[in-house]
Structure 1
Amino acid sequence: MGELYRRLKAYSETDEYPYHMPGHKRQVCGELPQEIMNIDITEIDGFDNLHAPEEILLRLQEEAARLYGAEESFYLVNGSTCGVLAAISAAVPKGGRLLMTRGGHKSAYHAAYLRNLTISYLYPEMMQEYDIYDAITPEQIAEALAKEPVPDAVFLVSPTYEGRIADIEKIAQIVHGKGIPLIVDEAHGAHLGLAEGLAKNSCQCGADLVIHSVHKTLPALTQSALLHVNGNRIDRDRLRRFLHIYQSSSPSYVLMAGIDNALQVVEEQGDYLFAKFQINYLRMLTELSECRNLSFLPLDARQDIGKLIIVSAKAGLSGQQIYDILLKKYHLQLEMAAPGYCLAMFTIGDGEEAYRRMTDALLAIDRDITAGKWQSRQKQDGREEEEISLYQLHPEVRMSLAQAWDAEKEEILLSQAVGRIAGDFVNLYPPGIPVLVPGEQIEETHCRQLAEYLKEELNVQGVTKDAGYRITVVKNK
């Protein structure tokens, strides 16, 4: 591994002149550094073709498959998004049925739209103490598959955005018992199965299609990912066809070299780096156990290491407030904020300073909360408001996703949208899980809580602030 970057670097030092794309011709144009320009090439002689690999790119994909325990792996330069699109499109026929977790990435919904699929949802259970959702369980899968009609495939997310890991081994057995494939969006688990102490990855657990965002938890460049395939339930020629459709015809060699480099680091230094990672992370959790107001999701067999869930609701503060304090006062940029918690991510790329700064900051914030320094969220009727999460609602489906998204639409005031049909996705981002999917009926709870989220300055997508809060709905005929 690591061969691609070395070959790109060696080529940049030759006297061959590029009478081909890209247009910068390996020269500095603007402010981007020469080092990037030197290795940014197209499919020229000696560098293979990602869409028909025969040499170096074929070898690199074979090495990735070996590392993850897959039968075949594909480099992705359009991120996990194109991997999810290709996986669902290859596994489910046009107009078919998909059983999927409601917490699926928006790319899964886009695949369902493009293929005009009928969707049945799996709703994860809420971990009430921490205000997050658990992973889908084998029991939920078995119950859903006992109902008719049987879907063409099952699509799950594991680990979840918050790091909850599903029992993929048992789930795969249940799904395969119905003769259908299991697709696992393991975008946040590219590190799984690569060192002692880490949970198995979904390839090792028997999933048919597995998608990894290498850039999320390994030292790779943003937008780089992998798609793995196992078994004979997936037509691999069909899978390649959809990869050609959804993946750029001009793949970035810089991104592919980044994937190769990240996997080389894991191969050569992974045991040491992951051991150090686990020691630092567990030490941080131990020190943070002194907090009296903030709480943290503990590690267990189903919790992925590295996802620090900072639960703020019990302290009377929103996740956004803790997020803002950490950013503005301590210059610590978190991954996301939710109403009752915020999330910081740690990987093998973090040094001891990263753990020390976060630990010191959270301990100081906790002391300040005790001293009454930070203003808590407003209370109603003399008590802190308790709300049912929008993700706990199961909206009535009035139109199919494809019908509603393609229908004539209008924008109306959020306060007047009760009973109307959503014409677009509404997400709280991140993680981007839809609280409303096109075709679903909007309830009063949606309108009230979305307005509250916007007042708390959470990132709500699908509701605009222009002339009051406005939402897109299917136009009444």
Structure 2
Amino acid sequence: MSSQYSKQSPAPLFEAMVAHHDKNPASFHVPGHKSGQGLLDEGTSFLKTVMSIDYTEITGLDDLHHAEGVIREAEQLAADCFGAEETYFLIGGSTVGNLAMISAVCGKDDIILVQRNVHKSVIHGLMLAGAKAVFIAPGIHPESGVATRLAIDDVKQALLQYSEAKGLFITNPNYYGNGVNLKPFAELMHEHGKLLLVDEAHGAHYGFHPEVPASALSQGADAVVQSTHKMLTAMTMGAMLHVQGPRIDRQAIQQLLAMLQSSSPSYPIMASLDLARKRMHTEGRNWLEQGLAVVKEFRSLLDELTAFGYHPRELPGNQSQEIETADPFKIAIYDATNTLSGTELKERLEAQDCFVEMTDGRQVLLVFTPASTREDMLRIVEVLTNICFDVPIQKKELQAPISNILKLPYYTPISSPVAFDMRDISKKSRDSAFSQVSVQGAVGKRSADMVIPYPPGIPYLYPGEIISASVVEALLQLAANGIKFQGTEFGETQKLKIYT
């Protein structure tokens, strides 16, 4: 066994928890279930084992908020594994990492450039900081209608217009696995003394195999959050925040995480982070190879089912102008005959106990991971094959919501600064500051709604954003073409909520 392997193979936090468990200790501390002894019988078979190591900050098990023992060792190993200078365990998912990144970089009224289709936690971070966002719209895939990537030229233009911006916040990859090469963005930001913050929640596996995209850290990002539970083996809510370089205030990050995370962090979640890191450290490439083999076979079998199409057809290394990078583990499938909507396809799959990640109305998103088995893959292929026989195949014209989406007036590529404020969510503010007006009467007003046409699922308006005449025109055309909206009643009422 090599010395390198021996350094990577320990799971210090998990091993310390097991060692404590093996002492058969008497608990006179929280949690109240006392290592699972208080469980109802019906929960024992599912929860007893994990509760037997559900500990708290007792001697030998360190303290997440002042890590200097086994948790510190586990975080240092994670930093080495994922290519960071420093890594922090998160027990509140990538959400808490996004809140901390934004709050560490932005103060009140500071401006930051933000990819328009970000997770809601980024907006919440802007609200906590009282910061302003200049939103930059991504591209749209011409076939699927979903968001793809930011254009570097748009970011350059935004930086030219708002040179005081603290940096750029980008989501890479997005939910569908679409992304961009980050190196030019990192170089651009650093050239101007700015930071690149990346929500890489769906890319914790990036960089561990030549057939998946490079990681954000390897391309120069200053701070990166990863949902280790999404594509790797951590328990739900287990995530990591990675930092590198001199630009990010690490002391601020630590203080914010102490404020934003529970003072009673879950030890099972942290142990699962430790073990997920160990797997990637010691066998990451080989493990991904197994998962990729399953995905490749699925694609080849799907090619034989001509009633179904899928995105992306081509994997990283293609010359697509819309998708620079693609996660091979994400596959969006749709009925190529347009007989079934995405929702109907999802329902038919679930009727056969195959549960998908999501649907956007046109297609369903399948998320494979390195842990996906060939047996499960063959199971969904069989279900899809049966659907082909069950549904009368009759080729129809593509529905207007898909075919017309790209012909419509689109988002302003670069928005004016949008101010976010925690006061906007208080009951007093809600009761006194909002009114609902016709969409035509909303021009020039501040939106109090988040207006999200689906597809492509990118917010057209954020709360606080000024409603322009071109946005109103686009919303009306989208509604006329049957596009559905989230976050607002606009689709049903033709009215928008505004700040008064």
Question: Which residue of structure 2 lines up, in the alignment, with residue 332 of structure 1?
Answer: 354
1:99 aligns to what SS in structure 2?
Answer: strand
Is contact 1:293–1:369 with CA below 8 Å preserved after alignment?
A: no
Question: Which residue of structure 1 lines up, in the alignment, with residue 343 of structure 2?
Answer: 320
Deviations 1:158-212 (A, max 9, x none): 1111101211112111111111110010000000112343222111111000000
> Which structure 2 residues correspond to residues 47-446 of structure 1 after superposition, within 5 A?
47-296=61-310, 297-298=312-313, 299-301=315-317, 302-312=325-335, 315=338, 317-328=340-351, 330-366=352-388, 371-372=393-394, 386-387=404-405, 392-394=410-412, 400-402=419-421, 405=425, 407=429, 408-410=432-434, 412=436, 419=443, 421-427=446-452, 433-440=458-465, 441=467, 443=472, 446=475
Deviations 1:420-440 (A, max 9, x none): 643243457999753431123
- Distance (whole Å) between structure 2 residues aligned to residue 276 and residue 215 of structure 1: 19
Could you list the runs of 5+ residues in structure 2 that have no partner in the other structure? 1-9, 318-324
- Distance (whole Å) between structure 2 residues aligned to residue 448 and residue 110 of structure 1: 30
Is contact 1:105–1:432 with CA below 8 Å preserved after alignment?
A: no
Is contact 1:423–1:438 with CA below 8 Å preserved after alignment?
A: yes
Q: Which region of structure 1 is more displaced relative to structure 2, 419-428 or 155-164?
A: 419-428
Q: Which region of structure 1 is more displaced relative to structure 2, 342-351 or 433-442?
A: 433-442
1:188 aligns to what SS in structure 2?
Answer: coil
Letter in 1 for 2:208: L
Question: Which residue of structure 1 lines up, in the alignment, with residue 7 of structure 2?
Answer: none
> Which structure 2 residues correspond to residues 449-468 of structure 1 after superposition, within 5 A?
460-463=486-489
Is contact 1:337–1:430 with CA below 8 Å preserved after alignment?
A: no
1:254–1:147 Cα change, 3 Å: same
C-alpha displacement of 1:409: 4.4
C-alpha displacement of 1:316: 5.1
- 2:39 corresponds to 1:29: yes
TM-score by length of 2: 0.83
Deviations 1:38-83 (A, max 9, x none): 1111111110011111010011000000001110000000110010
Is contact 1:169–1:205 with CA below 8 Å preserved after alignment?
A: yes
1:318–1:436 Cα change, 3 Å: farther
C-alpha displacement of 1:363: 3.9
C-alpha displacement of 1:324: 1.6
1:399–1:50 Cα change, 3 Å: closer
1:132 aligns to what SS in structure 2?
Answer: coil
1:126 aligns to what SS in structure 2?
Answer: coil
Q: Give the structure, 1 or 2, with the largest relative contact order (CA under 8 Å, sep 6 or more).
A: 2
C-alpha displacement of 1:231: 0.3
Question: Which residue of structure 2 lines up, in the alignment, with residue 14 of structure 1?
Answer: 23
C-alpha displacement of 1:15: 4.0
Is contact 1:308–1:345 with CA below 8 Å preserved after alignment?
A: yes
Deviations 1:216-254 (A, max 9, x none): 000110000000001000111111111112111111101
1:279 aligns to what SS in structure 2?
Answer: helix
- Distance (whole Å) between structure 1 residues aligned to residue 356 and residue 162 of structure 2: 43
1:315 aligns to what SS in structure 2?
Answer: coil
Q: Which region of structure 1 is more displaced relative to structure 2, 104-113 or 442-451?
A: 442-451
1:409–1:340 Cα change, 3 Å: farther
1:98 aligns to what SS in structure 2?
Answer: strand
C-alpha displacement of 1:398: 10
C-alpha displacement of 1:450: 7.0
- Distance (whole Å) between structure 2 residues aligned to residue 129 and residue 378 of structure 1: 11
C-alpha displacement of 1:357: 1.9
Letter in 1 for 2:152: P
- Distance (whole Å) between structure 2 residues aligned to residue 196 and residue 392 of structure 1: 35
1:366–1:86 Cα change, 3 Å: same
Is contact 1:293–1:366 with CA below 8 Å preserved after alignment?
A: yes
Letter in 2 for 1:319: G
1:141–1:384 Cα change, 3 Å: closer
Letter in 2 for 1:438: P
How many residues get paired? 465
Question: Which residue of structure 1 lines up, in the alignment, with residue 4 of structure 2?
Answer: none
Is contact 1:220–1:258 with CA below 8 Å preserved after alignment?
A: yes
2:300 aligns to what SS in structure 1?
Answer: helix
C-alpha displacement of 1:356: 1.1
Question: Which residue of structure 1 lines up, in the alignment, with residue 12 of structure 2?
Answer: 3
Is contact 1:281–1:306 with CA below 8 Å preserved after alignment?
A: yes
Is contact 1:412–1:470 with CA below 8 Å preserved after alignment?
A: no
1:309 aligns to what SS in structure 2?
Answer: strand
C-alpha displacement of 1:313: 6.8
Q: Which region of structure 1 is more displaced relative to structure 2, 69-78 or 268-277?
A: 268-277
Deviations 1:66-101 (A, max 9, x none): 001110000000110010110111122332011010
- Distance (whole Å) between structure 2 residues aligned to residue 352 and residue 231 of structure 1: 41
Superposition RMSD on alpha carbons, in Å?
3.3
Question: Which residue of structure 1 lines up, in the alignment, with residue 497 of structure 2?
Answer: 473
Letter in 1 for 2:367: M
Letter in 1 for 2:411: L
- Distance (whole Å) between structure 2 residues aligned to residue 3 and residue 414 of structure 1: 60
Letter in 1 for 2:33: H
Is contact 2:99–2:121 with CA below 8 Å preserved after alignment?
A: yes
C-alpha displacement of 1:335: 0.5
Is contact 1:312–1:341 with CA below 8 Å preserved after alignment?
A: yes
Is contact 2:147–2:456 with CA below 8 Å preserved after alignment?
A: no
TM-score by length of 1: 0.87
1:198 aligns to what SS in structure 2?
Answer: coil
Could you list the runs of 5+ residues in structure 1 that have no partner in the other structure? none
Is contact 2:108–2:131 with CA below 8 Å preserved after alignment?
A: yes
C-alpha displacement of 1:121: 1.1
Is contact 2:211–2:316 with CA below 8 Å preserved after alignment?
A: no
